[in-house]
Amino acid sequence: MNEATFDPEALAWDKAGGLLPAIVQDAQTLRVLMLGYMDRAALAATRERGLVTFFSRSKGRLWTKGESSGHVLELVSMEADCDADALLVLARPRGPTCHLQRPSCFAGAPRDAVAALDAVIASRAASPQADSYTARLFGSGVRRIAQKVGEEGVETALAGVAQDDEALLGEAADLVYHLAVLLRARGLGWPQVCEVLERRAGG
């Protein structure tokens, strides 16, 4: 969080009786996870502890998400909207956010599918599983993974000129997957690719 530009005292606390809605979004997949409310104390606790904390209107007290389940939300960043009366919180969820054991409290909340794939690939790199194709790819080394990216690129190009849309989409998905594995094998990730794209697009 950029402490230099975030001033809690500049927020419009009086608009809604001292409570501000806080939308929580997965920092990696960008899926909206939940909506809660923060008062000054909840905001301070969130910033100090690094765990997203709300003021629970039903309990009448501060409530740290996951305090019972262990499925906490680790703070990544926070910003106010243009009217300073709502907050956008980016967090890393540790387990399902919803009490129904879903990733999001909004069942149909969209997400960045490539970022979600990248997160799975990163987890396979960190904790290899014997029956995982991804783990076997990592075990084959960067050279072999790069070769697979080349093969998938050729197959995608051929599908683009000689096959139907379904085949092209399938080959494109294979290419993106293998490219994400190659990036992780080099210690990089999809978010860094997105940063380059954003710079090229002028933000």
- Domain CATH for 83: 3.10.20.810
Query: What's the confidence (pLDDT) of residue 35?
Result: 97
- Using a 10 angstrom Cβ sphere, with 0-12 exposed, 13-18 middle and 19 or more buried, the burial of residue 108 is exposed
Instruction: List, for residues 113-159, the tens digit of each pLDDT value.
Output: 999 999 999 999 988 888 899 999 999 999 999 999 999 999 999 99
Query: What's the confidence (pLDDT) of residue 130?
Result: 82
Q: Are residues 175 and 129 in the same domain?
A: yes
| Residue 1 located in a structural domain | no
Distance CA 186, CA 188 (A): 6
Q: Are residues 87 and 118 in the same domain?
A: no
Q: Are residues 191 and 121 in the same domain?
A: yes
Return the bridge partners of 93, or none.
Answer: 73
| Residue 148 located in a structural domain | yes
Q: Are residues 41 and 75 in the same domain?
A: yes
Instruction: List, for residues 35-52, the tens digit of each pLDDT value.
Output: 999 999 999 999 999 999
Q: Are residues 136 and 85 in the same domain?
A: no
Q: Are residues 69 and 29 in the same domain?
A: yes
Query: What's the confidence (pLDDT) of residue 5?
Result: 57
Query: What's the confidence (pLDDT) of residue 7?
Result: 87
Looking at the structure of the chain, the number of domains it has is 2
| Residue 190 located in a structural domain | yes
Q: Are residues 190 and 122 in the same domain?
A: yes
Residue 203 pLDDT level (bands cut at 50, 70, 90): low
Residue 6 pLDDT level (bands cut at 50, 70, 90): confident
- The mean pLDDT value of the chain amounts to 93
Distant-in-sequence, close-in-space partners of 168: CB < 8 Å, separation ≥ 6: 156, 159, 160
Instruction: List, for residues 71-100, the tens digit of each pLDDT value.
Output: 999 999 999 999 999 999 999 999 999 999
Distance CA 94, CA 27 (A): 12
Structural domain boundaries enclosing 30:
8-93
